[in-house]
Amino acid sequence: MRIVLLGAPGSGKGTQAQRLASKYGVPQVSSGDLLRDAVARSTALGLKAKAAMEAGELVSDDIVLALIRERLKRADARDGFVLDGFPRNIAQAETLRAMLAQIDQPVDAVVLMDIDPAVLIRRLTGRRSCSRCGRLFNIYTSPPTAATPCIDGRQAHELVQRPDDNEETIRNRLEVYAAQTRPLIEHYRAGKLLRSVDAEGEIEEVSRRLQQVLGDIPTVRVPKRVASRRVARRRAPTRRKPATRPVKSAKKKPGSGAAARRRAVRGARPASKHRSRRRSSARR
């Protein structure tokens, strides 16, 4: 499964990308996360990106594409990916298509997270975070409750709003999205890759809709590696030959053999003189 998620800020791309990645065993590839990680690790690409940001310039598409290409070479992206946050315009879409063709990983589908702008403004202006535990909430859709206490288990959350989550800034961001990213919808529709999902509602509900939209795309779930166990081969029992007892020689009959013949010969000899004299005197 190789898909791209499109959508305005606050449409839920990041949340749904994580859920898809977990379900189908493919990585979520976020261009923003890749940039932050490269800068934090001071890689060669990260240093280039950092220099551009410190100069107040946008990070070039070449750097972002190089980071994405590098990420897709890892083993866990062998069976697909969920790309979130890129491309943002048609020029980026074309360079992305060429890069993916080079590594033989073309996109299967592009999904638009469709949502009403008024709902987006409500979502984004309602975002809050706890200054103590860092947990995220929305005062309109998911406010803190007794079931979500702060880290000490007793204190209520101390909610703060990000400076760029005010209504004026959000409207400007949505206008930029409409001007630059909206044309991608027609671009991918012309290429017969575009699919759309209603992104309004609970997370679980949107997730079910998204899976239905992607239901015809073949997926390969990577099985978990199980430690192999060596199984000793059982040898077939060998048949033992019956023990052979030594054959007893037949007992010789008495009177047989050379010794017996010698005794017989001695018995046939005439009696000695002194024995015959004894017998004759006894008769007298």
Q: Is residue 203 part of a domain?
A: yes
pLDDT of residue 230: 41
Q: Is residue 221 part of a domain?
A: no
Catalytic residue among 2, 19, 71, 127: 127
pLDDT of residue 6: 93
Q: Is 162 part of the annotated catalytic residue set?
A: yes
DSSP string, the chain: -EEEEE--TTSSHHHHHHHHHHHHT--EEEHHHHHHHHHHHT-HHHHHHHHHHHTT-PPPHHHHHHHHHHHHTSGGGTT-EEEES---SHHHHHHHHHHHHHTT---SEEEEEE--HHHHHHHHHTEEEETTT--EEETTTB---TTS--TTSSSPP-EE--GGGSHHHHHHHHHHIIIIIHHHHHHHHHTT-EEEEE--S-HHHHHHHHHHHTTTS---PPPPP------PPPPPPPPPPPPPPPPPPPPPPTT-SHHHHHHHHHHHSPPPHHHHHHHHHHH-
| Domain residue limits at 43 | 2-115+179-213
Q: Is residue 125 part of a domain?
A: no
Q: Is residue 106 part of a domain?
A: yes
Q: Is 13 part of the annotated catalytic residue set?
A: yes
Q: Is residue 243 part of a domain?
A: no
Catalytic residue among 73, 78, 132, 162: 162
- What pLDDT, in 10s, does the model give residues 204-239? 999 999 999 998 887 654 444 433 344 344 455 555
Q: Is residue 239 part of a domain?
A: no
Catalytic residue among 88, 97, 135, 182: 88
Number of domains in the chain: 1
Catalytic residue among 69, 135, 171, 173: 173
Domain at 203, CATH number: 3.40.50.300
pLDDT of residue 76: 93
Q: Is residue 206 part of a domain?
A: yes
Q: Is 235 part of the annotated catalytic residue set?
A: no
- What pLDDT, in 10s, does the model give residues 103-150? 999 999 999 999 998 888 888 888 898 888 888 888 887 888 888 888
**Average pLDDT score, the chain:** 81
Catalytic residue among 13, 19, 128, 195: 13
Q: Is residue 201 part of a domain?
A: yes
